[in-house]
Amino acid sequence: MEIHYQLKLSIQKGSIVLSNNIPKKDQKMNRREFFLNGARALGLTALGGLVWSAYVDEVSASSLLLRPPAALNEKDFLKTCIKCGMCVEACPYDTLQLAKPGDNMPLGTPYFIPRDIPCYMCPDIPCVPVCPTDALNEKLVTTNNKLDINKASMGVAVIDDNSCIAFWGIQCDACYRACPLLGEAITIEYTKNERTGKHAFLKPVVHADVCTGCGLCEKACVTQKAAIFVLPNEVAKGKAGDYYIKGWDKNDEKRLEKATSKTTTTKISERKAVDSLNDIGGLLDD
């Protein structure tokens, strides 16, 4: 209903007076419509704020989430996942859940919290084949045309040696025992306890190239707040770049076949190495 105001313009004692010419009955109706429209506008504004808040949360929290096995990298995953929830329904342990408003996570996307319920490494990986868009890509967890959960790379376990009691000298191997890849993803390093001179330290060591990020170690950790916890690969791992080659690794050494003879020259590299190292100012130059 459109509201039209008929205005009268009059001049009284040098002042301009505006008045409407609408009957009182219509004025009441117009007021009612005005308040109703205002309420609708406020509702839409609140809804818009909720949507915008969810978007901001999605951008800020996405990089810290743990996704199901075989998930694409986070950027591609968010583009491909249609938020259908089929992977969540397929999980027999209720590990996976969908992000809701207020979770500070990308709305409707699947994730899991290992400290609550870790991934129990189902051999048939039921959450992956049901994905209709390949946001969970079977190829990433397949060996010789068979699903292989050990190829999963949901994240990497990281140890805080300040709060891990094994680093204090207290015997604990809970994370080691809980690991489904016993003796591979987590091993125990024995070192002498110089403080007592009698007992050895039994320190857990995570092997990032084997760890699947299932979080069973985090769930098993006996400390109040887990001293071992899983982080997404993008957060936990660094990147050496293409300039370094592992000479002892035949597969990595093959990259030399594609190497070029192009040399990058900088002000520092124009000088002798010894001169550059001795000249601190040269290292700080732009």
Separation between Cα atoms, residue 212 and residue 181, nearest integer Å: 9
Say which amino acid occupies 121.
Answer: M
Task: Look up residue 47 and give its two tokens.
Answer: 């809804």
Q: Residues 6 or more apart from 234 whose CB is under 8 A from it? A: 63, 73, 74
Q: Say yes or no to pLDDT of 18 above 70.
A: no
Q: Say yes or no to pLDDT of 40 above 70.
A: no
Q: 51 versus 42: which is more confidently predicted?
A: 42
The pLDDT of residue 139: 97
Mean pLDDT calculated for residue range 38-61:
54
Picking from 227, 140, 215, the residue whose alpha carbon sits closest to that of residue 185 is 215
HEC letters along the chain:
CCCCCCEEEEEECCEEEEEECCCHHHHHHHHHHHHHHHHHHHHHHHHHHHHHHHHHHHHHHHHHCCCCCCECCHHHHHHHCCCCCHHHHHCCCCCCEECCCCCCCCCCCEECCCCCCCCCCCCCCCCCCCCCCCCECHHHHEECCEECHHHCCCCEEEECCCCCHHHHCCCCCHHHHHCCCECCCEEEEEEECCCCCCCEEEEEEECCCCCCCCCHHHHHCCCCCCCEEEECHHHHCCCCCCCCCCCCCHHHHHHHHHCCCCCCCCCCCCCCHHHHHHCHHHHHCC
Q: 58 versus 126: which is more confidently predicted?
A: 126
Cβ proximity of 197 and 244 under 8 Å: no
Q: Say yes or no to pLDDT of 121 above 80.
A: yes
For the ranges 29-38, 190-199, 216-225, 242-251, the lowest mean pLDDT is seen at 29-38
Q: Residues 6 or more apart from 153 whose CB is under 8 A from it? A: 140, 212, 213, 233
- DSSP β-ladder status, 146-147 and 156-159: unpaired
Of the pLDDT bands very low, low, confident and very high (cuts 50, 70, 90), residue 2 is very low
Q: What is the pLDDT of residues 235-272, one digit of tens each?
A: 988 888 877 888 788 888 777 777 776 666 666 666 66
The pLDDT of residue 38: 63
Q: What is the pLDDT of residues 176-203, one digit of tens each?
A: 999 999 999 999 999 988 877 777 899 9
The pLDDT of residue 24: 52
Of the pLDDT bands very low, low, confident and very high (cuts 50, 70, 90), residue 211 is very high
- The domain limits of the chain are 7-61, 65-151, 155-239, 244-286
Q: Say yes or no to pLDDT of 167 above 90.
A: yes
Do the two domains 65-151 and 155-239 of this chain adopt the same fold?
yes
Query: Looking at domain 65-151, which of 3.40.50, 1.10.3470, 3.40.1130, 3.30.70 is its CATH number?
Result: 3.30.70
For the ranges 12-21, 101-110, 167-176, 252-261, the lowest mean pLDDT is seen at 12-21
Of the pLDDT bands very low, low, confident and very high (cuts 50, 70, 90), residue 285 is low
Of the pLDDT bands very low, low, confident and very high (cuts 50, 70, 90), residue 148 is very high
The pLDDT of residue 107: 93
Q: What percentage of the chain reaches a pLDDT higher than 70?
A: 69
Q: Is 155-239 a CATH 3.30.70.20 domain? A: yes
The pLDDT of residue 4: 47
Q: Say yes or no to pLDDT of 223 above 90.
A: yes
Q: Say yes or no to pLDDT of 26 above 50.
A: yes
Of the pLDDT bands very low, low, confident and very high (cuts 50, 70, 90), residue 85 is very high
